[in-house]
Amino acid sequence: MKMMAALSALLLAGLVTRAAAAPCPCTNFFTGDAKPFIAEGIARDAVSGRFFVAGVAARRILAIQNGRARDFARLPDDYSPLGIAFAKESLWVTAAVIPQGAGHEGPSALIAFDPNGRLKNVYPVADEGRHVLNDLALAPDGTILASDARDGSLYRLTPGATALTRLGPRALLKSPQGMVVSADGRFLLVADYSLGLVKLDLATAAFEPLKIPTDAKTKGIDGLALLADGSFLASQNGTKEPHILRLTLSPDWSRLISLEVVAEDDAAIADPSLVTADASGAYVVGISQWGSFGKDQQELTKPLQPWRIVKLELK
């Protein structure tokens, strides 16, 4: 048994590949200005080709098309947009009242806008305590899943529902961030700042950390997106140096097979936030402006850079 365990550990370690890429294999997709914005969530409407970006400090969402940006929606009630995703004729937004946007703390909610930027519905988190819904994922049946970075809970909005419901117990995880739902709708892959990569059964809310090779660092991952080849794009900003990663998992999502550092130590991704990917390519907020703001405060602590979205040239 000891020999088998040792062999398993050896094979697991040998499956990791690290190919640090510098400079970033990317091209500039859009550059904003040097005013307070804090670019966080990004999404694309495949039908219209419009690209959306959420501005936390500006408390609004921009639509980008043909290289030009215009206001798409302003959030109600002091909310700031965080994660965004376009599906079923709606732009879904995880939102929270936070110091960097409103100057104070407040409630959190899932918000839906129609394709013209008109407010459709607000689904607040009804539980007591502080909540920050920060990212979301779309299930094949139309269910919206949202992660609460403040208290570690996960929430869902099923088709036709009028309110959010908590998935499993409160504080199920530590600090859940980006998520991806499996094609069959059974499992949820969650990037947790403290736990690393976690696989969760959506029927039972039971979860288990992925088996990770000893030389792979998966804590501090923020954004997570599925690529066309079945691998995953991830932004890692909860570590000393930010990285853009490409992750390959086993078919059952129980084990990390390889971790490739797509970009690191590059000015184009020096302050990354969230990611998105579709048939048109893979995109990352490379300069978000988060690094210019102090923790839980609206005042700047460092000079602002123009926020920037880059498109990755992945092989």
- Average pLDDT score, the chain: 92
CA quadruple 10, 11, 14, 15: dihedral, nearest 10: -150
How do residues 103-148 score in pLDDT, each as one tens digit? 999 999 999 999 999 999 999 999 888 999 999 999 999 999 999 9
Quick check: 73 pLDDT over 60?
Answer: yes
Q: Can you tell me the mean pLDDT for 18-44?
A: 88
Evaluate whether 193 touches 219 at the Cβ level (below 8 Å): yes
Position 183, amino acid: A
The pLDDT of residue 41 is: 98
Domains of the chain, first to last: 28-299+306-312 (2.120.10.30)
Quick check: 83 pLDDT over 60?
Answer: yes
Task: Please give the structure tokens belonging to residue 288.
Answer: 């978000």
The pLDDT of residue 100 is: 96
The pLDDT of residue 16 is: 52
Quick check: 1 pLDDT over 60?
Answer: no
Cα–Cα distance for residue pair 249/127, rounded to 1 Å: 34
Quick check: 219 pLDDT over 50?
Answer: yes
The pLDDT of residue 301 is: 85
pTM: 0.93
Residue 14: band (very low, low, confident or very high) from pLDDT cuts 50, 70, 90: very low
The pLDDT of residue 257 is: 97
How do residues 167-214 score in pLDDT, each as one tens digit? 999 999 999 999 999 999 999 999 999 999 999 999 999 999 999 999
Quick check: 21 pLDDT over 60?
Answer: no
Higher pLDDT residue, 80 or 241? Answer: 80
Count CA atoms closer than 13 A to 78's CA, side-chain side.
Answer: 11
Q: Where in 66-143 does DSSP place strands (E)? A: 68-74, 80-87, 90-96, 108-113, 119-124, 133-138
Cα–Cα distance for residue pair 5/11, rounded to 1 Å: 10
- 245 vs 86, 91, 146, 218, 238, CA distance in Å? 24, 26, 22, 9, 13
Residue 5: band (very low, low, confident or very high) from pLDDT cuts 50, 70, 90: very low
Q: Can you tell me the mean pLDDT for 292-305?
A: 86
Cα–Cα distance for residue pair 41/250, rounded to 1 Å: 27
Residue 17: band (very low, low, confident or very high) from pLDDT cuts 50, 70, 90: low
Cα 77 to the center of its chain, rounded Å: 23
Quick check: 8 pLDDT over 70?
Answer: no
Q: State the burial class of residue 308 (Cβ atoms within 10 Å of its Cβ: 0-12, 13-18, 19+).
A: buried
